Amino acid sequence: MASRHELGEPVVVVEGVEKSFGALKVLKDVALTVRRGETVCIIGPSGSGKSTLLRCINGLVPISKGSIKLAGREVNDKNLDKLSLRRDVGIVFQQYNLFPHKNALQNVMMAPIHVLKQDKAEVEARARKLLAKVGLSDKLSTYPGELSGGQQQRVAIARSLAMNPKVMLFDEVTAALDPETKKEVLVTIQDLAAEGMTCILVTHEMGFAREVADHVYFTDGGLIVEHAAPAELFGNPREERTKAFLDKVL
Amino acid sequence: MIAAFFERLNETSGLNFSVFYDAFDQSRFLTGLWTTTYICVVSIIASLALGLLGTWVAGSQSRLGRLLVRGYVQFFRNTPPLVQLSFFYFAVASLLPTVSDGFGGQSPLVSGTGWAIVAFSLFAGAFNVEIFRAGIEAVPSTTVEAAESLGYTRLQLYIHVVLPLAFRICLPALNNNLINLVKTTTLAYAIGVPELLYAASQIWSEVFNVREMMNVLLVTYVALVAVLVWVMGRWERALRIPGYST
């Protein structure tokens, strides 16, 4: 199932990354490479540092040691314009985090207008297309509070896509959803991956990881225990720890 | 018609509502009403601006700025507004130069009304800083994170995301403070500003209708605050977000 399309040059290169919150070491020597067009899933027990790693990639959380290169630029560089970096990275959160005072269409239009200073009419046309793409053409003027979790999450995906990111990060985006709405969101991400968008997902959806990912990383205790193509990692894990985890969740 | 009614009321029952039929008393009272309204409107606007500015500086990187705002809030929140007003009118004003009034005399640079506006704006502004800060802190950090990861600068973040949400959250507390401000303006009486209470006291000391004027005064303030509450209530409704409760 993997590698349905040609993979390009590395977009995200993580090397020797460490991150501590006070005395707590959340990431210990993490390395990971994601190529253009690749879909990578990071799985592992809660508290293994998966979400922190994602937040490090777009500079929301500064790293303590190591290097993260995004499209050739060092994320950890103090002189780097963090804002321009973040425009290249879309991130979708578990709790959607839409702007509650704006309707669906406005949520998608805000950042391109405010941050990229793009023309309003063009942005609106694109936002309408994006919302159609995530199946929400009939919810343009609906406010987040009136949307279901799955619908909110799809608006959040459209909102990130509106910035034309080079890579999309998904932080347990279906964890708060019921099985039915979960499906809507996963299908949206799958379509995106099929179109060649570079995607990094932190997820507990083993079925999705197995089916859609090109590569799967298993993390535990701030370490990458092992990584491989999904068929291999799920079918024939090398490490005992991976085996024990998969036995529990599958 | 109204004038005739109150004139008759005075003749028949001795209840003397002179402001309703005596042109001179009426004009004094209306001047008071106008002065009070003027002080209220300007102080409300200035205190809101001060609150916003203070909140912005309090949340900035500058240590000195943060310290200044803390000092300002502590000072104006922990001292009585009447003392603040006296401080400005008697202490600060005496340090300022006087200006020629064009008729050969000298008049102070800032009038009593001016000082009242300054004192009340600073007084209410200090509370507004705290109210806005509470509102801003109530905006979920996850919403802020979402805007940050879309590349918003701090200013853009505040204008488009944080303030619109924080403002809705803090409107009830803000209402209370602004209502208090309207009532606090009566303190300007102490420095001889011709506001409502001053006008009323002038009238009752000449006409000897203390009880009647007290009633008129209370009803006038009820009406003034009602207008403010009505405006704020409309504003709150206009800002209501479908499906979102603050």
Q: What is the CATH number of the domain that holds A203?
A: 3.40.50.300
Classify residue A147: in a domain, yes or no: no
Q: What is the mean pLDDT of chain B?
A: 92
DSSP 3-state of B42: helix
Cβ contact, residue pair A99, B152, below 8 Å: no
Classify residue A153: in a domain, yes or no: no
Beta sheet of A215-220, edge-to-edge order: A89-92, A167-171, A198-202, A39-43, A215-220, A223-228
Residue % of chain B over a pLDDT of 70: 99
Q: How far apart are CA B108 and CA B53, in angstroms?
A: 29
Q: Residue range B196-212: average pLDDT? A: 94
**Residue of A61, A93, A97 best to disrupt the B interface, most CBs of B under 10 A:** A97
Q: How far is A143 from chain B (nearest CA, A)?
A: 6
Backbone angles phi, psi at A216, to 5 degrees: -125, 135
Classify residue A199: in a domain, yes or no: yes
Classify residue A195: in a domain, yes or no: yes
Classify residue A154: in a domain, yes or no: no
CB-based contact A92:A99 (threshold 8 Å): no
SS3 per residue for B134-167: HHHHHCCHHHHHHHHHCCCCHHHHHHHHHHHHHH
Q: Which of A58, A99, A145 sits opposite B243 (nearest CB)?
A: A145
Domains and CATH numbers, chain B: 16-99+107-239 (1.10.3720.10)
Residue % of chain B over a pLDDT of 90: 82
Q: How far is B148 from chain A (nearest CA, A)?
A: 8
Cβ contact, residue pair A95, B148, below 8 Å: no
Handedness of CA B6, B11, B12, B18 (dihedral sign): positive
Cβ-based contacts of A145 with chain B (< 8 Å): 241-245
Q: How far apart are CA B133 and CA B183, in angstroms?
A: 24
pTM over 0.95: no
Classify residue A158: in a domain, yes or no: no
Q: How far apart are CA A236 and CA A230, in angstroms?
A: 9
> Looking at chain A from residue 217 to 246, which residues have their Cβ under 8 Å from any Cβ of chain B?
none
What pLDDT does residue B148 have? 92
Classify residue A46: in a domain, yes or no: yes
CB-based contact A169:A42 (threshold 8 Å): no
Strand partners, A74: A69
Strand partners, A224: A219
The ipTM, to two decimals, is 0.87
Classify residue A104: in a domain, yes or no: no
> Which residues span the domain enclosing A189?
10-97+165-249
* Cβ–Cβ contact A110 with B under 8 A: yes
A119: its two tokens: 């023309």
Number of domains within chain A: 1
Residue that has been written with the tokens 């941050």 in this structure? A115
Q: Which one has a higher pLDDT value, A48 or B68?
A: B68
A69 contact partners, CB below 8 Å, separation of at least 6 = A10, A12, A13, A14, A15, A75
Q: What is the DSSP letter of A179?
A: H
Please determine, for residue B84, whether its predicted confidence score (pLDDT) is greater than 50: yes
